[in-house]
């Protein structure tokens, strides 16, 4: 009797992705193992931690917090000027508005020598090719390059080159990549997705940009999710935490709250997940009888 | 007795059905001036005796949906396009907007007025072309889609004055200011759905002819603005595909997609290429018309048999 293959899909969502630790805590309590992780953007760091066989959840959260504290440098003056005056200073799509040297050094040190092939649980990161717009699934080679690519928040962090392709955050083409888990043969998919909160006041051009991005990516996530849930046979359980407030990338003090909400959202889906696991365990036995 | 009456009614219906002209709903997606291809598509449908029972337009498609809903033939629609869509309509920059973006507090930033291009000219042109014409008075039922900027949802404009509705549907964020209509702040329809098949489906369409476009990928990304445009194209192409896939799986309407092929590159203001674009739409529609005819005949045979 074969156990159903369980995938955890962690969607784009910046700091909110830390709530995946809450989900993981619930699964651990229930003795449910994750057989595969697919992550995009902010979900990548948690995804890696799970795939590397992390066991101590509080320690995992502490490391995640430390990583986030390193991740965002200040705005680079020269970078901002380049974006504003492309003709004079020479613009390159390889640039971003933020300095990323410190972040790169920190991550490279953390992930030195780690390859996807060495991980305990199969891991897939989703990025997007800046030039062709295609989705790129990264499942082999050095984890550092793949993680840096999927974390490249458009315009803020510079894109990252992997195998000759310039890649950015996969959120722009597939913010909750359940289809990758389906393709990899998952039977049950826990899909942790985050809608971008809408702005309550449109009082600056930054608020305007955020609103356009939020509206587009929410539509994209819903449309893709609707299609994949309908067209495929895998069971998809959406886990959508409700944080009740805006969460910025620097709101590290909110992490305990975010984790707790992830835990609660997963607990809400637990009765269904349990039923599903039982049914899937019984079915093959009946078939052979 | 009642049964006989029902029988008689059914027979009467079966007799009248095949004589009613076959009809389709036409959905025109966003794609700026390329949407002019829909004029060619509409003329091929007309030639083939296929009635357009409803037309839905988004962004650039809203303009051509309106011209088709008004019942203009291809030549008139082309001439109106050439008069309306000229380079000078967006040539002027909106300097106040630029300043308000840099110093929002000082200059009093207002989302409802923010657009980097001066839109007075385009508003005047739309007013000249359509005057006080109303959506609900069109000979062919017309729907123009926009996006509610506060809650992000698709808005189906099916009544009210047509000029501001087209303007709202065309309100590319940052380039043109949003439009306030009936207390809603509206932006370009492509933000919520670049090819709004759902509007036709919601109104009971059985056969849909969809004219849609993917945003082209840039060969050269020479500025942060172009980088942002590239990102927005990637997102909206993915949204287009996901929505299309969902609607195809979830609904029973038949969707025939017409994607004109352009050998020449077409930029936003290449209005001199409008005749070429219309011709490309005509060609693309001719390739599909045989299949469409068979589909419609089949549909009517089934309806008649029932």
ipTM of the complex: 0.83
Alpha-carbon span B101 to B174, nearest angstrom: 10
Best CA proximity match to A38, nearest among A4, A2, A6: A6
| A77 CB-contact burial (10 Å; exposed 0-12 / middle 13-18 / buried 19+) | exposed
* Per-position pLDDT tens, chain A of length 289: 578 999 999 999 989 999 999 999 999 999 999 999 999 999 999 999 999 999 999 999 999 998 888 776 666 777 777 766 666 667 777 777 778 888 899 899 999 999 999 999 999 999 999 999 999 999 999 999 999 999 998 878 889 999 999 999 999 999 999 999 999 999 999 999 998 888 888 888 788 888 988 899 999 999 999 999 888 877 899 999 989 888 888 899 999 999 999 999 999 999 999 999 888 765 554 444 4
B190 lies within 8 A of chain A by CB: no
Best CA proximity match to A196, nearest among B228, B151, B172: B151
Dihedral sign computed on CA atoms, order A202, A207, A208, A210: negative
Q: Is the CB of A84 less than 8 angstroms away from the CB of B152?
A: no
Q: The whole model's pTM is what?
A: 0.86
Angle, nearest 10°, between helix axes A101-110 and A143-150? 140
* CA separation, residue B113 to residues A110, A212, B26 (Å): 47, 15, 32
Residues B61-85: pLDDT tens digits? 999 999 999 999 999 999 999 888 8
Angle, nearest 10°, between helix axes A43-51 and A20-30? 30
Residue B113 — pLDDT band, cuts 50, 70, 90? Answer: confident
Enter the tokens of residue B8: 């008689």
Chains A–B, number of C-beta pairs less than 8 Å apart:
114
- Rounded to 5°, angle at Cα B268 from B266 and B274: 60
Whether B232 has a pLDDT exceeding 70, the answer reads yes
B173 interaction partners in chain A (CB closer than 8 Å) = 208, 212
Task: Output b/e per residue, A48-63; b: 16+ Cβ within 10 A.
Answer: bbbbbebeeeeebbee
Alpha-carbon span B151 to B141, nearest angstrom: 26
B12 lies within 8 A of chain A by CB: no
Alpha-carbon span B184 to A97, nearest angstrom: 33
Mutate to test the interface with B, among A165, A167, A216, A229 (most CBs of B within 10 A): A216
Enter the tokens of residue B267: 């930029």
Alpha-carbon span B289 to B44, nearest angstrom: 8
* CA separation, residue A63 to residues A18, A56, A103, A115, B270 (Å): 11, 11, 14, 19, 54
Best CA proximity match to A130, nearest among A157, A89, A160: A160
- DSSP H or E stretch at residue A8: strand A6-10
B301 lies within 8 A of chain A by CB: no
What percentage of residues in chain B have a pLDDT greater than 70? 93
Contacts of B31 (CB under 8 A, 6+ apart): B59, B60, B61, B212, B213, B215
Owner of token pair 């508003």: B123
Q: Is the CB of A216 less than 8 angstroms away from the CB of B149?
A: no
Nearest to A220 among B224, B225, B239 (CB): B239
């Amino acid at each position: 009797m074969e156990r159903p293959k369980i995938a955890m899909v962690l969607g784009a969502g910046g700091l909110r992705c830390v709530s995946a630790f809450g989900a993981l805590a619930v699964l651990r309590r229930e003795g449910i193992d994750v057989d595969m992780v697919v992550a995009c953007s902010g979900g990548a760091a948690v995804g890696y931690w799970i795939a590397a066989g992390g066991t101590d959840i509080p320690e995992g959260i502490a490391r995640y917090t430390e990583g986030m504290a390193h991740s965002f440098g200040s705005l680079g003056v020269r970078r901002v000027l380049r974006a504003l005056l492309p003709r004079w200073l020479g613009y390159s799509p390889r640039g971003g508005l933020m300095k990323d040297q410190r972040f790169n050094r920190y991550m490279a040190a953390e992930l030195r020598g780690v390859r996807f092939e060495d991980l305990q649980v199969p891991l897939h990161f989703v990025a997007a090719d800046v030039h062709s717009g295609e989705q790129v699934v990264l499942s082999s080679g050095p984890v550092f390059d793949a993680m840096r690519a999927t974390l490249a928040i458009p315009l803020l962090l510079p894109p990252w080159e992997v195998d000759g392709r310039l890649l950015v955050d996969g959120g722009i083409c597939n913010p909750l990549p359940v289809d990758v888990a389906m393709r990899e043969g998952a039977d049950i998919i826990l899909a942790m997705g985050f809608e971008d909160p809408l702005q309550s006041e449109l009082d600056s051009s930054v608020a305007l940009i955020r609103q356009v991005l939020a509206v587009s990516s929410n539509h994209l996530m819903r449309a893709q999710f609707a299609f994949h849930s309908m067209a495929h046979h895998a069971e998809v359980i959406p886990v959508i935490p409700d944080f009740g407030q805006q969460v910025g990338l620097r709101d590290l003090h909110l992490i305990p709250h975010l984790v707790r909400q992830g835990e609660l959202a997963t607990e809400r889906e637990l009765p269904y997940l349990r039923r599903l696991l039982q049914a899937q365990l019984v079915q093959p036995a009946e078939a052979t009888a | 007795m009642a049964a006989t009456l029902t029988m008689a009614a059914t027979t009467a219906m079966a007799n009248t059905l095949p004589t009613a002209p076959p009809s389709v709903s036409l959905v025109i997606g966003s794609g700026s001036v390329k949407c002019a291809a829909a004029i060619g598509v509409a003329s091929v449908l007309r030639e083939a005796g296929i009635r357009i029972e409803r037309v839905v337009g988004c962004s650039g498609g809203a303009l051509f949906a309106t011209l088709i809903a008004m019942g203009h033939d291809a030549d008139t629609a082309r001439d109106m396009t050439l008069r309306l869509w000229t380079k000078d309509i967006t040539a002027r920059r909106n300097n106040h907007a630029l300043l308000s973006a840099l110093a929002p507090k000082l200059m009093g930033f207002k989302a409802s007025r923010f657009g980097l291009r001066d839109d007075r000219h385009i508003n005047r042109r739309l007013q000249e072309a359509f005057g006080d014409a109303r959506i609900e008075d069109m000979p062919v039922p017309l729907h123009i889609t926009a996006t509610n900027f506060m809650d992000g949802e698709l808005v189906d404009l099916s009544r009210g004055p047509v000029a501001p509705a087209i303007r709202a549907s065309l309100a590319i964020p940052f380039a043109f200011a949003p439009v306030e209509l009936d207390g809603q702040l509206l932006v370009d329809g492509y933000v919520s759905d670049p090819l709004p098949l759902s509007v036709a489906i919601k109104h009971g369409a059985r056969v849909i002819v969809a004219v849609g476009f993917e945003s082209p990928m840039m060969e050269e990304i020479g500025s942060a603005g172009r980088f942002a445009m590239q990102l927005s194209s990637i997102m909206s192409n993915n949204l287009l595909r996901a929505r299309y896939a969902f609607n195809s799986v979830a609904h029973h309407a038949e969707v025939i997609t017409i994607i004109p092929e352009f050998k020449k590159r077409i930029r936003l203001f290449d209005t001199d290429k409008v005749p070429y674009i219309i011709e490309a739409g005509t060609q693309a529609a001719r390739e599909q018309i045989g299949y469409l005819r068979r589909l419609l005949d089949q549909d009517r045979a089934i309806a008649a048999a029932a």
